[in-house]
Amino acid sequence: MVPVPHRNTINFLGMLPKNKYLIWREVNGIFTALNVHGELRAWVVATGKLTKATVTICNIDLQGYSVYRSNCFDDSYCKNW
Protein backbone atom coordinates (compact mmCIF):
# COMPACT_ATOMS: atom_id res chain seq x y z
CA MET A 1 0.00 0.00 0.00
CA VAL A 2 1.34 3.43 -0.96
CA PRO A 3 0.02 6.54 0.81
CA VAL A 4 -1.49 9.16 -1.51
CA PRO A 5 1.17 11.86 -0.80
CA HIS A 6 3.91 9.43 -1.89
CA ARG A 7 2.45 8.75 -5.32
CA ASN A 8 4.38 10.23 -8.21
CA THR A 9 2.34 12.82 -10.10
CA ILE A 10 4.96 13.78 -12.69
CA ASN A 11 3.68 13.54 -16.25
CA PHE A 12 5.89 12.99 -19.27
CA LEU A 13 4.85 14.66 -22.53
CA GLY A 14 3.37 12.18 -25.00
CA MET A 15 3.42 9.24 -22.60
CA LEU A 16 0.78 6.57 -23.10
CA PRO A 17 -1.09 5.00 -20.15
CA LYS A 18 1.14 2.87 -17.92
CA ASN A 19 -0.45 -0.41 -19.06
CA LYS A 20 0.88 0.22 -22.60
CA TYR A 21 4.52 -0.15 -21.50
CA LEU A 22 6.39 -3.42 -21.02
CA ILE A 23 9.53 -2.11 -19.34
CA TRP A 24 10.90 1.20 -18.15
CA ARG A 25 14.06 2.46 -16.50
CA GLU A 26 15.55 5.70 -15.22
CA VAL A 27 19.31 6.29 -15.48
CA ASN A 28 21.13 9.58 -14.95
CA GLY A 29 17.98 11.68 -15.26
CA ILE A 30 16.71 9.98 -18.44
CA PHE A 31 13.53 7.89 -18.19
CA THR A 32 13.32 5.28 -20.97
CA ALA A 33 10.32 3.06 -21.75
CA LEU A 34 9.46 0.35 -24.31
CA ASN A 35 5.78 0.26 -25.26
CA VAL A 36 3.73 -2.66 -26.59
CA HIS A 37 4.11 -1.37 -30.17
CA GLY A 38 7.91 -1.77 -30.04
CA GLU A 39 8.61 1.95 -29.70
CA LEU A 40 11.43 3.03 -27.42
CA ARG A 41 10.96 6.52 -25.96
CA ALA A 42 13.14 8.59 -23.63
CA TRP A 43 12.24 11.61 -21.50
CA VAL A 44 14.28 14.03 -19.41
CA VAL A 45 13.08 13.54 -15.82
CA ALA A 46 13.62 17.19 -14.85
CA THR A 47 11.48 18.62 -17.68
CA GLY A 48 9.21 15.75 -18.78
CA LYS A 49 10.11 16.41 -22.43
CA LEU A 50 11.19 13.78 -24.98
CA THR A 51 14.95 13.66 -25.52
CA LYS A 52 14.91 12.46 -29.15
CA ALA A 53 12.52 11.16 -31.75
CA THR A 54 10.88 7.82 -30.99
CA VAL A 55 12.93 4.77 -31.97
CA THR A 56 10.90 1.89 -33.42
CA ILE A 57 12.35 -1.56 -32.88
CA CYS A 58 11.53 -3.60 -35.99
CA ASN A 59 10.81 -7.30 -36.49
CA ILE A 60 10.21 -8.08 -32.81
CA ASP A 61 6.91 -9.66 -31.78
CA LEU A 62 6.04 -8.33 -28.32
CA GLN A 63 2.56 -9.88 -28.13
CA GLY A 64 3.59 -12.60 -25.67
CA TYR A 65 5.22 -10.19 -23.20
CA SER A 66 3.69 -8.39 -20.24
CA VAL A 67 4.84 -6.24 -17.33
CA TYR A 68 7.16 -8.15 -14.93
CA ARG A 69 5.56 -9.93 -11.95
CA SER A 70 7.45 -11.96 -9.37
CA ASN A 71 4.37 -14.20 -8.98
CA CYS A 72 0.72 -14.30 -10.12
CA PHE A 73 -0.37 -12.12 -7.17
CA ASP A 74 2.25 -9.38 -7.68
CA ASP A 75 0.52 -6.37 -9.22
CA SER A 76 2.81 -3.66 -7.82
CA TYR A 77 4.00 -2.52 -11.27
CA CYS A 78 0.52 -2.76 -12.78
CA LYS A 79 -1.10 -0.14 -10.53
CA ASN A 80 -2.17 3.08 -12.21
CA TRP A 81 -0.68 5.77 -9.95
Q: What is the pLDDT of residues 16-69, one digit of tens each?
A: 887 788 888 899 999 988 888 888 889 998 888 888 776 766 667 777 777 766
Q: What is the pLDDT of residue 6?
A: 56
- Provide the domain limits for residue 39: 8-56
- By the 8 A CB rule, do 65 and 57 touch? no
Provide mean pLDDT across the span 2-16: 69
Q: How far is CA 39 from CA 18, 48, 57, 62, 74, in A?
A: 14, 18, 6, 11, 26
Kindly report the CA angle at 49 between 62 and 14, in degrees rounded to 5?
45
Does residue 80 form part of some domain? no
Could you tell me the pTM of the whole model?
0.66
Does residue 34 form part of some domain? yes
Does residue 48 form part of some domain? yes
Calpha distance 60→37 (Å, rounded): 9
Question: How many domains in the chain?
Answer: 1
Does residue 22 form part of some domain? yes
Does residue 23 form part of some domain? yes
Does residue 36 form part of some domain? yes
